[in-house]
């Protein structure tokens, strides 16, 4: 958020300066370039986004003003070390002379990253002269070199962020590394990653009484809950914790954890293979202040107990606002998928009002020969006229707000969503549909999301035939309509879907042909909201006219997504409404790239 505000501030400052400059240039002749006429304040902002090497190579010896500017102590430097070329020269002429001005030092990924770091430290030592250094990224560093480097980092008075990727695949102990990290006096953020599959964490007793200042900790290496607990003893200020993968303990799990983290608000565990029993004991000790919990597990069915989750959250996470849960299961080619029965299913285990009351949505994603069951906070998919801000509005009636889909709040928070991705990868065909048939029929899915640019209309109809409770349909791209539609108008699937579907909301991706819209309008006779992605500015008026001329279905809520949306387009659509209909009770609004049209039928 801070970065966004800085960018907005920079944009506004540049706009003001350019307006002043244009006025001055129109009044007098000048030989200065536009860039040189920007104020120091704006130039400082611009240079803040440029790597120090590029600043010196681009602006040195151009003018006295720019020369004085780039050597000014007011400009802090960001260094990216990503090449051995001229490394010694840059250390001698840029880094060392300006060590007191360096804000960040990042070693980027490199085929020989460890050699790059070794060569850098042969020419330069990070010591107390780098007293403005706040962020360090060490990529592909060897364990031995890291231990030496961490010893010198202890002299930095403003080091707030440290990210480390260790280039060692062998088994080793991270205890000494963590002990040095925890001893850094001002560190707020730390990420430690390694490719090693097995590690040990034994922290020396010498720092038992020393607490770290770390507030954001990312443990990106295999870690048990026992090991994680031993780390958290030294981070009482922790607010944000991520750990992946979380593995099962080889030793007996300690159920007497004593970690206290009163400031912890966010926890993220991924690739969890540790059993739910271990997670439950661990989380109950640290979760009293928790507001956001994310946990992703691979085929660990001990986590599929909705009642147990419900009691755990109610009793130990009273402040939890957002819950993200992912369970991934491979799709077995030899048997039918069943998601609902008492032996293999789990959807119904998360069916109590507890989940919908918190606006947490249940979803199943099918892709790449695997299936993901997830729970996540409800995200608004549909435009709400009452929530538009920063808009252009044309209205002939103030009361059209009431026309927006009235049952939205009753259904959206309790939806069960089915998402189908990567058509070619999962081989979604008649056999695949048959395999998923019992699961699709048994679960009352209310929302269908298909992200697939090759799916046929017949395949879509086959899926919709199995989902009679669908209320909303989202297609990232439009299925192939033109030729197929000529042959399916009276097929059994088409007629059955037309007869049973309850779809009231449709969101279509990039629409090219009018026939594509016509097909879905005719397929969904109860439609109340239609959102259309448009390829070009000129598509919007023509599609608007086409929809208004359709006499089979009247749609009270339309939304067009177009990159070049502006106030002129709003006026154009208003003229179309006035000329093509007799309805004088409508509202057209623009918010960003979205134009919404609402009217009373």
Q: Which two tokens stand for residue 203?
A: 């922290």
* Dist. CA 336–CA 431, nearest whole Å: 10
Beta bridge partners of 106: 80, 137
Q: What do you get for the CA distance between the two ends of the chain, in Å?
A: 42
**Residues 6+ positions from 78 with CB-CB distance below 8 Å:** 48, 50, 51, 52, 102, 103, 104, 106
Which residue's structure tokens are 């364990």?
143
Distance CA 119, CA 107 (A): 12
Residues 6+ apart with CB under 8 A from 375: 323, 324, 325, 350, 355, 360, 361, 362, 363
In the structure encoding, which two tokens stand for residue 248, read together?
A: 């099962």
Q: Which residue has the tokens 């009235």?
A: 406
CA pair distance 2, 8, nearest whole angstrom: 10
| Predicted local distance difference test score (pLDDT) of residue 426 | 44
Class of the domain covering 416-599 = alpha beta
Per-residue confidence band for 332, with pLDDT thresholds at 50, 70 and 90? low
**What is the tens place of the pLDDT at every residue in 567-579?**
889 889 988 888 8
453 pLDDT more than 80: no
pLDDT in tens, 195-240: 888 889 988 765 556 789 999 999 999 999 999 998 998 999 999 9
Range name among 30-34, 282-286, 301-305 with the lowest pLDDT average: 30-34
Measured in degrees and rounded to the nearest 5, phi and psi for residue 545 equal -60, -45
Residue 174 clears pLDDT 70, i.e. is over it: yes
Q: Tell me the Cα Rg of the chain.
A: 30
Q: Domain boundaries in the chain?
A: 117-357, 416-599
pLDDT of residue 268: 98
Distance from C-alpha of 11 to C-alpha of 22, rounded to nearest angstrom: 16
Inter-residue contact 65 to 36 (CB < 8 Å)? yes
3-class SS at 10? helix
Ranked by mean pLDDT, the top range of 220-229, 331-340, 426-435, 509-518 is 220-229
CATH for the stretch 117-357: 3.80.10
Q: pLDDT per residue over 34-48, tens digit each?
A: 667 778 788 878 877
Phi then psi for 135, rounded to 5 degrees? Answer: -140, 130
Under the banding of pLDDT at 50, 70 and 90, the label for residue 112 is: low
Global confidence as pTM: 0.81
- State the Cα–Cα distance between residues 509 and 535, nearest whole angstrom: 9
Statement: residue 33 has pLDDT above 60: no
Q: Which residue has the higher pLDDT, 455 or 76?
A: 76
pLDDT tens sequence across 88-98: 988 998 999 99
Helix (H) or strand (E) holding 328: strand 322-330
Mean pLDDT, residues 276-286: 92
Both tokens assigned to 462: 């086959």
Cβ atoms < 10 Å from Cβ of 522 = 16
Who's near 46: CB < 8 A, 6+ residues apart?
A: 10, 14, 38
């Amino acid at each position: 958020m801070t970065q966004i505000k800085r960018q907005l501030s920079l944009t506004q400052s540049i706009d003001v300066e350019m307006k002043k400059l244009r006025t001055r240039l129109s009044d007098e002749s000048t030989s200065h370039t536009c860039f040189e006429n920007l104020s120091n304040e704006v130039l400082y902002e611009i240079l803040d986004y440029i790597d120090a090497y590029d600043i010196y190579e681009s602006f040195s010896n151009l003018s006295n003003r720019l020369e004085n500017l780039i050597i000014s102590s007011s400009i802090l430097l960001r260094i990216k070390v990503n090449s051995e070329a001229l490394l010694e020269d840059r250390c001698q002429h840029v880094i060392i002379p300006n060590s007191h001005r360096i804000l960040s030092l990042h070693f980027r990924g490199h085929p020989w990253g460890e050699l790059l770091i070794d060569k850098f430290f042969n020419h330069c030592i990070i010591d107390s002269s780098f007293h403005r250094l706040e962020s360090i990224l060490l990529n592909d560093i060897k364990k031995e070199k890291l231990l030496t480097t961490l010893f010198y980092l202890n002299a930095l008075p403003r080091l707030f962020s440290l990210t480390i990727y260790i280039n060692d695949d062998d088994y080793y102990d991270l205890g000494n590394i963590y002990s040095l990290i925890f001893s850094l006096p001002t560190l707020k953020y730390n990420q430690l990653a390694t490719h090693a599959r097995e590690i040990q964490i034994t922290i020396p007793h010498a720092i038992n009484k020393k607490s770290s200042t770390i507030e954001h900790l990312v443990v990106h290496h295999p870690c048990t809950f026992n090991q994680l607990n031993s780390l958290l003893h030294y981070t009482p200020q922790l607010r944000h914790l991520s750990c992946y993968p979380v593995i099962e303990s080889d030793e007996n799990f300690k159920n007497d954890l004593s970690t206290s983290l009163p400031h912890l608000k966010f926890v993220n565990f991924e690739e969890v293979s540790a059993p739910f029993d271990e997670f439950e004991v661990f989380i109950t000790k640290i979760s009293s202040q928790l507001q956001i919990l994310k946990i992703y597990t691979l085929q660990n069915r001990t986590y599929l107990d909705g009642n147990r989750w419900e009691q755990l959250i109610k009793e130990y996470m009273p402040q939890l606002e957002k819950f993200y849960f992912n369970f991934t299961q491979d799709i077995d080619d030899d048997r039918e998928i069943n998601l609902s029965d008492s032996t293999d299913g789990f959807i119904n285990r998360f069916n109590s009002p507890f989940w919908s009351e918190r606006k947490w949505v249940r979803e199943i994603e099918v892709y790449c020969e695997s299936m993901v069951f997830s729970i996540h906070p409800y995200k608004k998919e549909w435009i709400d006229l009452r929530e538009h801000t920063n808009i252009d509005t044309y209205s002939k009636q103030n009361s059209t707000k009431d026309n927006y889909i009235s049952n939205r709040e009753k259904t959206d928070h309790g939806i069960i969503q089915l998402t189908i991705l990567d058509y070619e990868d999962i081989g979604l065909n008649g056999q695949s549909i048959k395999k998923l048939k019992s699961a699709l029929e048994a679960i009352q899915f209310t929302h269908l999301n298909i992200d697939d640019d090759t799916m046929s209309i017949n395949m879509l109809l086959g899926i919709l035939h199995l989902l009679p409770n669908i209320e909303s349909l989202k297609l990232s791209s439009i299925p192939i309509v033109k030729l197929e539609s000529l042959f399916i108008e009276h097929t059994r699937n088409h007629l059955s879907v037309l007869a049973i579907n309850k779809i009231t909301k449709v969101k279509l991706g990039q629409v090219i042909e009018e026939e594509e819209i016509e097909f879905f309008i005719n397929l969904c006779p109860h439609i109340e909201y239609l959102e259309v992605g448009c390829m070009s500015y000129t598509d919007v008026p023509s599609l608007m006219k086409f929809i208004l001329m359709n006499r089979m279905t009247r749609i009270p809520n339309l939304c067009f997504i177009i990159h070049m949306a502006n106030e002129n387009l709003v006026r154009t659509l208003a003229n179309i409404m006035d000329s093509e209909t007799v309805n004088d009770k409508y509202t057209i609004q623009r918010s960003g790239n979205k134009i919404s049209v609402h009217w009373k039928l």
